[in-house]
Amino acid sequence: MRTSLWGTLCVSGLATLTLVGCGTDVREPDPEEPAARATWYQDVAPIVSKHCMECHQEGGIGPFDLTTYDMAYDNAGRMLAKIESGEMPPFDAREEADCTPRFTWKDDPRLSEAEIDTIRTWIEDGRAEGEVAEVPAPPSIELPNVTQTLKPTVPFTASGDRDQFICYVLDPKLVGGAWLTGMQIRPGNNDVVHHVVLTELMPGAEHDAIVAQRGIGMPWDCSQTTTPGSFVVNIWTPGNQPMQTTQDLAVPILAGAKLVMNIHYHPANRVHEPDATEVDIRTSTSWPRKMYFVGAFGNSFQAPELLADPDDRTAIPEFRIPAGAADHDEHMRITIPALGDLQNVQLYSANPHMHMVGTHISATLERPSARGSDPKTECLANGGWNFDWQRTYIYDTTLDKLPTIQAGDVLDLRCKWNNTMDNPFVQRALADAGLGAPVPINLGEGSLDEMCLEIFGLAVDAPPMPSARTMPTVDQLPMQLMNAMRVPARVD
Ligand code: HEC
């Protein structure tokens, strides 16, 4: 394989650049040279558009623009390096020898080997421009067909050195109820919003009391309580995509129900710009086959769920990551509790969750025996961990083939941490907390606490469609499941 001299000179940035020139003259086709095997407009731009441009564009979250030939030309070496290392595009689900999920993931943004080869070849052949052509638009990360946007009436200004938990009641004004098929939580101030939990407050005594006491759209401090509401609808963590389902699978929003938004702020001893986090929702009135609920498993803090590890200080297992531990593990085995009368609970998506210091998380389900097409032991989710790139991974299969989960199954959850200064996230967390050296880390909600949690999207059979109503009533919902799925009490 031949490497273009000019290309090599430009990439390696030699002092001779000024003599040979790395500007436009480099791109003049040399009649002596064979045509490039790949060009920007014909081969590379469509790949970069599909995988990179949604973030790497003017005003995007990526640190530089990759939408033009000039920018791609100048950054070609860095681009390929980040793609080859698996860091870009950001996507931390992994296939590893001891844990590879049975299904691939929907909207997996990673490049195929063929696409990576094309970029490599383009660089080897001198990063040719090709014939100017229109570059396809990058895929959108916006929730399509939003039906309304819910906003706080009064924004909240986070400040101080303690984490703050602020709740708002939001009113979707769905008089007859509706089925929710999409939601996008948009933090108003990314510097300070740590995560957002959204619950549904169904009509009833709790609903009336909360609405009377708190009003609609007004911030109040809910640090000392669990989030009001009957069940969790959605959880936003940094980097996460919108929640989206098809018409077949939807969250019931009962007539008159409200949504409660609980925002975890991490002020890090600064007074921040006011935050008004908004929620886009998409609702439909068509009756789905399955209902979607969120269920979180993990954060075990004692035996028998939490197993012993070599860093425990006594024979009693503890969730504790010592200061300076470069490769600390916690291992939990959680027996799935009875989920009411539900026979057919399926896993639609997995959203692993840890805090800053985490490096890896994996979840495996052990069934007493194989069940239908489900194997006895199944890796549900596995991956490296990057706090900035949290994501809900959706199994790329049909509703009928989704993995099932039942009472008595055992969820085996393993998390790893690197609590040393070699971990750039430790440096960041300590700087935020005004500390100079690693400290022991415990289980908790704060940014210098840790978690080991798997937040699953669950699909359960919808009740039969009634003839006269457009929405199920409370008695048609799997309350036992939903009670089990209430926001976990704070653990710190
Ligand atoms: C979801 C948004 C997103 C996508 C998609 C994405 N990037 Fe990035 N990229 C970022 C952000 C944010 C950073 C800076 C923070 C970081 O490095 O994590 C970054 C950093 C980089 C860097 C490192 C810049 C430096 O500081 O050296 C390179 C190179 C890069 N991206 C290339 C790519 C390429 C090539 C693709 C497509 C194959 C891609 N990115 C896709 C958001 C994205």
Tell me the Ramachandran region of residue 13: left when phi exceeds 0, alpha when psi lies from -120 to 50, beta otherwise: left
Query: What pLDDT is recorded for position 30?
Result: 61
Please give the residue that has the higher pLDDT: either 12 or 66: 66
* Digit-coded pLDDT (tens) for 265-290: 988 888 999 999 999 999 988 888 99
Position in ligand 1 atom list of the atom nearest CA 78: 29
Query: What pLDDT is recorded for position 12?
Result: 32
Taking the centre of ligand 1 as the mean of its atom positions, its distance from the CA of residue 480, in whole angstroms, is 43
Query: What pLDDT is recorded for position 27?
Result: 54
Average pLDDT over residues 459-472: 70
Query: What pLDDT is recorded for position 3?
Result: 34
* Digit-coded pLDDT (tens) for 194-233: 889 899 998 888 899 999 999 999 999 998 777 788 788 8
Taking the centre of ligand 1 as the mean of its atom positions, its distance from the CA of residue 59, in whole angstroms, is 14
CB burial string 75-86: b at 16+ within 10 A, e below? ebeebbeebeee
Opening angle at CA 212, ends 211 and 216, nearest 5: 45
Name, of 73-82, 236-245, 278-287, the range with top average pLDDT.
73-82
Taking the centre of ligand 1 as the mean of its atom positions, its distance from the CA of residue 356, in whole angstroms, is 19
Which of 460, 457, 251 has its CA nearest to residue 344? 460
Position in ligand 1 atom list of the atom nearest CA 54: 5
With 0-12 / 13-18 / 19 or more C-beta atoms within 10 angstroms meaning exposed / middle / buried, residue 462 is buried
Residues with CB under 6 A from ligand 1: 51-52, 54-56, 61-63, 78-79, 82-83, 88-90, 109, 388
Q: How confident is the model at residue 43 (pLDDT cuts 50, 70, 90)?
A: very high
Position in ligand 1 atom list of the atom nearest CA 80: 35
* Digit-coded pLDDT (tens) for 99-122: 999 999 999 999 999 999 999 999
Q: How confident is the model at residue 93 (pLDDT cuts 50, 70, 90)?
A: very high
Query: What pLDDT is recorded for position 492?
Result: 28
Position in ligand 1 atom list of the atom nearest CA 75: 29
* Digit-coded pLDDT (tens) for 47-62: 999 999 988 998 888 8
With 0-12 / 13-18 / 19 or more C-beta atoms within 10 angstroms meaning exposed / middle / buried, residue 2 is exposed
CB neighbourhood size of 169 (10 A): 22
Query: Closest Cα to atom 36, ligand 1: which residue?
Result: 52
Taking the centre of ligand 1 as the mean of its atom positions, its distance from the CA of residue 452, in whole angstroms, is 26
Q: How confident is the model at residue 234 (pLDDT cuts 50, 70, 90)?
A: confident
* Digit-coded pLDDT (tens) for 140-199: 878 999 999 999 999 999 999 888 999 999 999 988 888 999 999 999 998 899 889 899
* Digit-coded pLDDT (tens) for 387-430: 888 889 999 999 999 999 998 999 999 999 999 999 999 999 99
Q: How confident is the model at residue 22 (pLDDT cuts 50, 70, 90)?
A: very low
* Digit-coded pLDDT (tens) for 335-367: 988 776 666 899 999 999 999 999 999 999 999
Query: What pLDDT is recorded for position 18?
Result: 31
Using CA atoms, how far apart are residues 384 and 386, in angstroms rounded to an integer? 7
Residue among 56, 110, 122 whose CB has most ligand 1 atoms within 8 A, to mutate: 56
End-to-end CA distance of the chain: 59
